[in-house]
Chain A
């Protein structure tokens, strides 16, 4: 079973560096599909570094790989994904008349994906 969490999409050094190599480069693809999580959350969900997880929001879903951050860096219940094609799959088109879609604190369900799937 999955758990509800808040997803933050944002910039990171690796995302910025790999962007210069090119959007179609393997480096960029890897960076933008690596989800950073709180280690306690990962343990509870039976996840270890490199495992696949499904993120599902109101508008879409993606499968990414997870990686632990220090618990101090990322509070329990919050996950971070670098901006990119994966994070956009989870963003809704409603901007509440501002032009700005929400890409921080998106409600998502995080669910481990069995490796044999």
Chain B
């Protein structure tokens, strides 16, 4: 008989909500129940299996861990323009090791942020961010606006755990005390949770945001705004009144803003609107983040290099330049000559020209499951799943760090262990003493 255990307060790392109130029923090495989790979280836990795969493959052949570490270290040391990418689905501890490797070998390091809220990162630097934690929003927000995001399908518990239905200190009746607005080009399932749905013509978010800024400042907006954006002037005027007169407003924004024409200008316009609104009331803005620890990746890169993504160490010190040091660009221009990909699958989600280059260069991949990227990798490591098998730190989308309580161990090493082994071997090959004084 397999023993049945209950793990309380387990953390789901499938999306950036990082819900840490999950109650797991564990039978042997299967999770049979994940109480409190949403549909996505339930699938994350209950579909988790320990894959029957070798710990490593080198050129498609089964290899011992140490042999694969050696192969990976040699690829990195011998390359002239290595790129390290991914990192949003692993622990902060593993992310630190990746930054260390980048530093030692003069690599380019970038995370999946560059293809989700990278443009928002650029906008934060340009405009600034009026921020809050989700706890504060839960307790205070009486006007909640989602712009260009579909939390009902991408972050299902965002509504119920943080921002729409929960009762809070200053919103004691929960949902009844809040007005919820959804702005999007599609009427997604999230619209059902909203009091007001505003449908914008595709690619016209910037125009709508700029018109709102004008109205907030009491400037006239011509009525052809409706023809231009699909949104009637009266709807915008009504929204502006609500925004100025709420006690605590929040604008959550998703990739509907960043992945469309305008990119960082769209995010920047939204942040500027929030800044303007602070003349009248308290208003905050938060990007809604996708992967479990993409926010951790931003934090770790920021505290270690000074920049959140798109960092290049080739001159021996960190430089930041989106467009130059972002991975899609490096690959699409054919610049990188080796890639270390951690917990990410660019071979299935990058644009085609970038994937074509990835197929031409030696790729080292770390992932718990077979992916399109592990398929094309020269060296592929099978690693343990963070949150389910591995402990460590993860940042929720509001930059709150949360510690993971794993359900059961895995026979595979963690990303952190594999990366540390690669780091140590890289240092040996380059004859660099390790920072703790130990010479290997």
Binding site for B on A (CB under 8 A): 6, 8-13, 16-17, 20-24, 59-60, 70, 72-75, 78, 80, 83-85, 88-105
Contacts and interface: CB of A to CB of B under 8 A. Distances in A.
Nearest to B310: A99
B43 A20 contact: yes
The 6 nearest A-B residue pairs measured at CB: A99-B326, A93-B332, A97-B323, A93-B353, A91-B351, A99-B114
Contact of B348 (A10, A17, A20, A85): A85
A99 B67 CA distance: 34
Given A59-B352, A94-B332, A97-B323, A20 B47 contact: yes
B256 interface: yes
B122 interface: yes
Contact of B119 (A8, A12, A83, A100): A100
Given A10-B255, A100-B119, A83 B185 contact: no
27 contacts: A6-B203, A9-B259, A10-B150, A12-B153, A13-B189, A20-B44, A23-B348, A74-B186, A85-B372, A88-B351, A88-B355, A90-B352, A91-B350, A91-B352, A92-B352, A93-B332, A93-B333, A95-B328, A97-B323, A98-B122, A98-B264, A99-B118, A99-B326, A100-B114, A100-B118, A104-B202, A105-B185
B354 interface: yes
B175 interface: no
A20 B14 contact: yes
Contacts, number: 157
Interface string B247-290: 00000000110111101100000000000000000000000001
B214 interface: no
B309 interface: yes
Contacts of A8: 185-186, 202
Interface of B: 14-15, 39-40, 43-44, 47-48, 110, 114-115, 118-119, 122, 150, 152-154, 156, 185-189, 199, 202-203, 255-256, 258-261, 263-264, 290, 309-310, 322-324, 326-329, 331-333, 345, 348-355, 369-372
A9 B348 CA distance: 13
Contacts of A91: 350-352
A17 B264 contact: no
Contact of A96 (B14, B263, B372): B263
Contact of A101 (B122, B185, B328): B328
B230 to A, nearest CB: 8
Given A20-B47, A93-B332, A103-B259, A11 B349 contact: no
Contacts of B264: 98
Contacts of A17: 39-40, 43
Contacts of B118: 98-100
B436 to A, nearest CB: 34
Given A20-B14, A23-B369, A100 B259 contact: yes
B353 A99 contact: no
A11 B150 contact: yes
Given A22-B370, A104-B256, A88 B202 contact: no
Contacts of B187: 70, 72-74
Nearest to A80: B186
A1 to B, nearest CB: 23
B326 to A, nearest CB: 3
A84 B348 contact: yes
Contacts of A20: 14, 40, 43-44, 47-48
Nearest to A11: B154
B371 A23 contact: yes
Contacts of A102: 259-261
B370 to A, nearest CB: 6
A88 B352 contact: yes
A105 B150 CA distance: 16
A93 B256 contact: no
Contacts of B369: 22-23
B153 A104 contact: no
Contacts of B48: 20
A100 B119 CA distance: 7
A45 B347 CA distance: 32
A60 B352 CA distance: 8
Nearest to A16: B40
